[in-house]
């Protein structure tokens, strides 16, 4: 069995998490670490005992010949770094969101296809232990036919929440909805439908956004619809970050680290009896819960190993990542233009920038990059 050689490009928070998972997995070996800041590759290298450390990514790839390069960097760098790494003809995984618009995502996919390599997007929730449990129950027919999927963020400002957290949730929902045919969305800022003046650069370099509150409806294949809520809360609440599948015979409830089954489609709590059953979470048999690797990142690596063995895309492939961006751009476009948006959309430019331009406005002015400062400035503007 082949051991896949992995190089990590970016050694801070997410790079360290990815590296721990690749380090722990028996079928992957970290052959190089790269960061512009030497102390970051040194800290991670010392932790994982990887001596090949670089500050130049091209040099790292030339010297270490990796099978996979992980690109866990700030979102505004994803496009350039993906294109640069793909030029070397290696498989990549990139943090979420894959890119900030569809033009970029199309280029990345086209470059990977030209080079004959895979793209995976680090939407690890879709392959983690609780999603495995949900998928197992779903595939066993426990809820009958799927009718509706509900998903929510955890309270960030809506447009930013969509790019940051909605990307995960839309990808989770796709696991069951398969393909999204169209999107209809309602976005409000300060209690009113968004206007071109509400379009702004995203915090954390996640492109262009709008909407304090987002309520979006997706039409999937067949008779399945879904709703995604990305509502700004006064206080963030990870308990809101949940997904629920409604079937003809029951319901399945996903949350980080938990999976539950309701053996009836409609249930009014009567105060005496909780019909929700906890499902046993599913881990790869060689996962050591005492290792420093998170189970979701480990599952993500496990699927990449299996995908490369089998010559198939990762479950969280670039194709899925791009489809998620189609949904996110469709959500912005639907609210801006007040219409249903059919996917995949022919116009791949950012719909909010198009909307502003057509309204005779210049591109939105710069905003602080940090979320706290960004929110303070936006809250002042909304009043
Ligand atoms: N999947 C998840 O659960 C999850 C959670 C949080 C954040 N994210 C995503 O992770 C990304 C941010 O990750 P982070 O917080 O670790 O990023 P970061 O910006 O803090 O760290 C990135 C590192 O990459 C290095 N780097 C940047 N360009 C480089 C280059 N050309 N060559 C070498 N090194 C380079 C930087 O010096 C830095 O150390 C975002 O896309 C975010 O959306 C994902």
**Residues of the domain holding 374:** 127-383
Nearest to 119 by CA among 330, 350, 323: 323
At residue 313's C-alpha, the angle toward residues 310 and 318, to 5°, is 165
**CATH number, position 82:** 3.40.50.720
| CA of 13 relative to ligand 1 center, distance in Å | 7
Do 106 and 137 reside in the same domain of the chain?
A: no
| Residue at which a domain ends, from 125, 159, 193 | 125
Domain boundary (72, 94, 125) is at: 125
Quick one: pLDDT at residue 274? 87
Q: Is residue 330 within 6 Å of ligand 1 at its C-beta?
A: no
Same domain, 239 and 301: yes
* Contact present, 113 and 281 (Cβ < 8 Å): no
Of 8, 10, 11, 13, which is best to mutate to test ligand 1, by the most ligand atoms within 8 angstroms of its C-beta? 10
d(CA 100, CA 220): 23
Pair 55, 137 in one domain? no
- Ligand 1 centre from 59 Cα, in Å? 19
Query: 288 and 298, same structural domain?
Result: yes
Q: How many CB atoms lie within 10 A of CB 191?
A: 8
pLDDT in single tens digits along all 383 residues of the chain: 999 999 999 999 999 999 999 999 999 999 999 999 999 999 999 999 999 999 999 999 999 999 999 999 999 999 999 999 999 999 999 999 999 999 999 999 999 999 999 999 999 999 999 999 999 999 999 999 999 999 999 999 999 999 999 999 999 999 999 999 999 999 999 999 999 999 999 999 999 999 999 999 999 999 999 999 999 999 999 999 999 999 999 999 999 999 999 999 999 888 777 899 999 999 999 999 999 999 999 999 999 999 999 999 999 999 999 999 999 999 999 999 999 999 999 999 999 999 999 999 999 999 999 999 999 999 999 99
Q: What domain count does the chain have?
A: 2
Do 61 and 178 reside in the same domain of the chain? no
* DSSP letter string, 229-270: EEEPPSS--GGG-EEEEEESS-EEEEETTEEEEESSS-----
Whether residue 132 sits in one domain with residue 106:
no
Q: Report which ligand 1 atom has the smallest distance to the Cα of 77.
A: 28
> Are 121 and 267 in the same domain?
no
**Residue-level pLDDT at 204:** 98
Same domain for 117 and 148: no
* Last residue of one domain, picked from the residues 96, 125, 154: 125
Q: What is the pTM of this model?
A: 0.98
Residue identified by tokens 């197992």 is 136
Is residue 77 located within the same domain as residue 177? no
Q: 119 and 168: one domain?
A: no
pLDDT of residue 270: 81
Q: Give the separation between CA 290 and CA 235, rounded to whole angstroms.
A: 32
* One domain, residues 76 and 32: yes
Instruction: Give the tokens for residue 92.
Output: 């990549």
Which of the listed residues 43, 60, 74 should we mutate to test ligand 1's pocket, taking the one with most ligand atoms within 8 A of CB?
74
CATH of the domain at 155: 3.30.360.10
Q: Do residue 55 and residue 102 come from a single domain?
A: yes
């Amino acid at each position: 069995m082949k051991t896949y050689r992995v190089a990590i490009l970016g050694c801070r928070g997410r790079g360290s998490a990815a590296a721990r998972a690749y380090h722990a997995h028996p079928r992957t070996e970290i052959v190089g670490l790269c960061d512009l800041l030497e102390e970051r590759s040194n800290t991670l290298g010392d932790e994982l005992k990887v001596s090949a450390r670089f500050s130049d990514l091209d040099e790292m790839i030339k010297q270490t010949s990796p099978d996979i390069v992980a690109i866990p960097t700030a979102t505004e760098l994803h496009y350039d770094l993906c294109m640069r790494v793909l030029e070397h003809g290696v498989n990549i995984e990139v943090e979420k969101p894959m890119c900030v618009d569809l033009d970029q995502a199309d280029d990345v996919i086209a470059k990977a296809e030209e080079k004959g390599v895979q793209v995976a997007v680090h939407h690890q929730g879709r392959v983690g232990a609780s999603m495995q449990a949900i998928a197992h129950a779903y595939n066993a027919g426990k809820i009958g036919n799927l009718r509706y999927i509900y998903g929510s963020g955890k309270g960030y400002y809506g447009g930013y929440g969509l790019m940051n957290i909605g990307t995960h949730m839309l990808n989770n929902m796709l696991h069951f909805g398969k393909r999204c045919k169209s999107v209809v969305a309602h976005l409000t800022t300060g209690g009113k439908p968004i206007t071109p003046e509400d379009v702004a650069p995203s915090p954390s370099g996640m492109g262009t956004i709008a909407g304090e509150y987002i309520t979006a409806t997706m039409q999937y294949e067949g008779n399945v619809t879904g709703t995604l809520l990305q509502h700004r809360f006064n206080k963030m609440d990870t308990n809101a970050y949940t997904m629920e599948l409604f079937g003809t015979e029951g319901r399945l409830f996903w949350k980080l680290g938990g999976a539950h089954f309701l053996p009836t489609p409609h249930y009014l709590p009567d105060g005496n009896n909780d019909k929700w059953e906890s499902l046993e979470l599913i881990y790869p048999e060689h996962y050591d819960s005492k290792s420093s690797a998170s189970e979701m990142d480990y599952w993500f690596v496990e699927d990449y190993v299996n995908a490369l063995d089998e010559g198939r895309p990762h479950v969280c492939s670039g194709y899925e990542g791009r489809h998620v961006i189609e949904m996110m751009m469709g959500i912005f476009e639907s609210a801006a233009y007040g219409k249903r948006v059919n996917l995949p959309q022919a116009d791949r430019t950012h719909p909010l920038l198009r909307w502003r331009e057509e309204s005779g406005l210049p591109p939105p002015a710069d905003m602080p990059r940090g979320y706290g400062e960004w929110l303070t400035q936006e809250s002042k503007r909304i009043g």
